[in-house]
């Protein structure tokens, strides 16, 4: 049981920590030359040892889901597929010229947008273009995000023939009224068909994305959604909190904010969903993710080999991730880079043979240490401290860890920290105790408020 008073106490917006430092603290412009040089060095160090991960962003959707904060382009004109595939091929060629070895592909993920917006033939063309001169890692994993309404048997057959074995469907909520208000109408029959077809074609792991806190969501509706979801037995479930940020996601301004669940009601939606998942045999992986005991994600967590990157939790422990496509993010271990977010700007860079990277960050030694602490806690529920960091830890992290320990969420000393069973629910909050950028910004904001007050 989770103490409701603790949920209320720690009900604060906290990053998901798919990176550290998190994106808001990155530099708005980075040197493409410096980025490419870092890329070359890190690739040479990592490729033969661990292999690399690839993320390809496919931004197009045929209709707008009004809750969505992703980078997407809404169109029903499928002629956009051709120029985008050509741009991806050119960008891959740019990076391929920096690689002095044959790339060993450990992980490939197609995300969006709606990747299944693309025809099966074009998805096959894309994947074959990328993998044509690569070597698959012996333990490779290929995955894709799909929409239950437009993922066809032909899509799944082509993907399965290329080695894809994991698919994630954006289900969000099964209540027809909630679907109407968020403009994502997908009948249960479509979700069931897409799930059954994936398994028939050889996919071994099916994930459902669900969201709590959407407009018009109520407890009875969440219960019905989970009754239907549990009947389909997805191997994994990601149960995310809806982030209402109408100042950055303009379409969220269409919502009547009185239809959003109150904070206490939103908390109950999560607790009910989590309870039903646990009663249904799912295991809590952390950071809003759940998996059945046979799934590789749960097995990796039990073995201590779970990894986390911009694609979320993964079983592939590669520290080198290359992102291709508009707004795609790369993580090469000691540096981050994000491509141009605007499709026109992305095309302009690629078609003039320039790197499309714009925003990014080059990590310091301190960043690397605290990044490891955050990753260990999110993946292994504990971490060991480096002696050289103790002075900073004592100043910045230990006061927060003391509070978390008093609330029974962790056990810590000068050697390290371990998350308790109760603390497992608060993983993101515990990670934030090691977010020096967040703490320094909070201190700066407080000092500014104090100076204005006097």
Query: Nearest 5°: phi and psi at 169?
Result: -105, 135
Q: Catalogue the E-assigned strands of 62-156.
A: 73-74, 104-112, 135-146
Binding residue numbers for [4Fe-4S] cluster: 61, 65, 68
Contact predicate 305/315, CB 8 Å: yes
Half-sphere exposure of residue 430, counting CA atoms within 13 Å on the CB side? 35
Query: What is the Cα gyration radius of the chain?
Result: 22
Contact status, residue 207 vs residue 237, Cβ threshold 8 Å = yes
CA distance 434 to 418: 14
- E strand spans, 267-373: 283-286, 289-291, 307-309, 312-314, 321-324, 329-331, 335-339, 357-362
Whose tokens are 């496919």? That residue is 58
Which residue from 288, 266, 290 is spatially nearest to 277, judged by alpha carbons?
A: 290
Backbone φ and ψ for 435, nearest 5 degrees, come out as -90, 90
Query: What is the phi/psi pair of residue 20, to 5°?
Result: -150, 125
Residue ranges at the known binding site for S-adenosyl-L-methionine: 55, 67-69, 112-114, 145, 172, 184, 209, 243, 329
Q: For residue 159, which of 170, 143, 135 has the smallest C-alpha distance?
A: 143
CA–CA separation, 295 vs 335, rounded Å?
Answer: 31
Annotated binding site: 55, 61, 65, 67-69, 112-114, 145, 172, 184, 209, 243, 329
| Burial class of residue 346 (count of CB atoms within 10 Å of its CB; 0-12, 13-18, 19+) | buried
């Amino acid at each position: 049981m989770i103490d409701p008073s603790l949920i209320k106490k720690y009900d604060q917006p906290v990053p998901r920590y798919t990176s550290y430092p998190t994106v808001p603290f990155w530099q708005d412009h980075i040197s493409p030359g410096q980025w490419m040089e870092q890329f070359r060095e890190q690739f040479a160090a990592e490729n033969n040892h661990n292999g690399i991960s690839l993320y390809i962003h496919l931004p197009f959707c045929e209709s707008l889901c009004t809750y969505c904060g992703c980078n997407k382009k809404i169109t029903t004109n499928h002629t956009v597929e051709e120029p985008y595939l050509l741009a991806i091929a050119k960008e891959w060629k740019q990076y391929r010229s920096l690689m002095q070895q044959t790339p060993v592909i450990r992980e490939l993920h197609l995300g969006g947008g709606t990747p299944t917006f693309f025809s099966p033939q074009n998805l096959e063309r894309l994947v074959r273009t990328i993998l044509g001169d690569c070597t698959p890692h012996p333990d490779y994993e290929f995955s894709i995000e799909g929409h239950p309404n437009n993922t066809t048997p032909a899509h799944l057959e082509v993907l399965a023939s290329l080695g894809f074995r994991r698919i994630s469907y954006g289900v969000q909520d099964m209540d027809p009224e909630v679907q109407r208000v968020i403009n994502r109408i997908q009948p249960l029959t479509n979700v069931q068909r897409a799930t059954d077809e994936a398994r028939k074609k050889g996919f071994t792991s099916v994930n459902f994305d669900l969201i709590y806190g959407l407009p018009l969501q109520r407890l009875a509706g969440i219960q019905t959604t989970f009754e239907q979801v549990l009947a389909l037995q997805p191997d994994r479930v990601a149960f995310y909190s809806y982030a209402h940020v109408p100042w950055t996601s303009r379409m969220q301004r269409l919502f009547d904010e009185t239809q959003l669940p109150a904070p206490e009601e939103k908390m109950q939606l999560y607790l009910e969903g989590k309870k039903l998942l646990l009663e249904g045999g799912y295991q809590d992986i952390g950071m809003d993710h759940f998996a059945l005991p046979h799934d590789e994600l749960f097995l990796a967590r039990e073995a201590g080999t779970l990894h986390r990157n911009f694609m979320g939790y993964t079983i592939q422990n590669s520290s080198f991730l290359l992102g291709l496509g508009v707004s795609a993010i790369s993580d090469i271990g000691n540096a981050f880079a994000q491509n141009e977010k605007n499709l026109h700007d992305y095309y302009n860079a690629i078609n003039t043979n320039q790197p499309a990277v714009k925003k990014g960050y080059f990590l310091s030694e301190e960043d690397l240490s605290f990044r490891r602490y955050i990753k260990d806690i999110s993946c292994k529920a504990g971490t060991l401290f480096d002696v050289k960091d103790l002075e900073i830890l004592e100043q910045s992290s230990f006061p927060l860890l003391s509070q978390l320990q008093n609330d029974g969420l962790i056990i810590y000393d000068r050697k390290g920290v371990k998350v308790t069973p109760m603390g497992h629910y608060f993983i993101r909050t515990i990670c934030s105790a090691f977010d020096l950028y967040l703490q320094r910004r909070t201190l700066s904001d407080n000092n500014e408020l104090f100076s204005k007050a006097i």
